Homo-oligomer: A and B are copies of this chain.
Amino acid sequence: MADLVPVMSVAELEAFMEREFPQMRMGADTTRIEAVGPGRAVLRLGFSERNLRPGGTISGPAMMALADYAMYAAVLAHIGPVGLAVTTSFTINFMRKPAQADILAEARLMKLGRALAVGDITMSQEGAGGPVAHATCTYSIPPR
């Protein structure tokens, strides 16, 4: 979907998120938006003890929250600051045990319609042989 054009910058997105979601950081308080581009957003989940679970691996829910947040950032980047867009369905596959290190999440929009957005999110770590997890997500967009 190379015809998509972002309408918000990383700084604008970060400011909007900070204002609208102060209380819901969900263990993801070390999450940063790194980049936005046509149909894309890249986020980084900084490694933190808080996100660990037994076995020393990063918890599933921390990665779910990261993927959902990355999709939200990609949608907002293209439709502007609409706080009321909501996830309607979400599927994630965990593929590799994450190392105790940052996770990068790249969200890619596959459809951005008037009422519905669909995208997928690939989560990876440096040096891993492939993604640690992959999610698909549908978002309902309020009338604009």
Binding site for B on A (CB under 8 A): 1, 3, 20-21, 23-28, 49-55, 57, 59-62, 64-65, 68-69, 83-84, 86-97, 110-111, 118, 120, 122, 129-131, 134, 136, 138
Contact B89 A93, beta carbon cutoff 8 Å: yes
Interface of A is mostly: mixed
Cβ–Cβ contact B62 & A24, under 8 A = yes
Least CB separation from A16: chain B residue: B54
Is A87 a contact partner of B60 (Cβ separation < 8 A)? yes
- Given A55-B86, A60-B86, A61-B65, 9 more pairs with CB closer than 8 A: A20-B54, A23-B52, A60-B87, A88-B94, A88-B138, A89-B89, A89-B138, A95-B110, A96-B111
In this complex, what residue of B is CB-closest to A19? B54
User: If the complex has contacts A26-B61, A26-B65, A50-B23, are A3 and B129 also in contact, measured as CB distance less than 8 A?
Assistant: yes
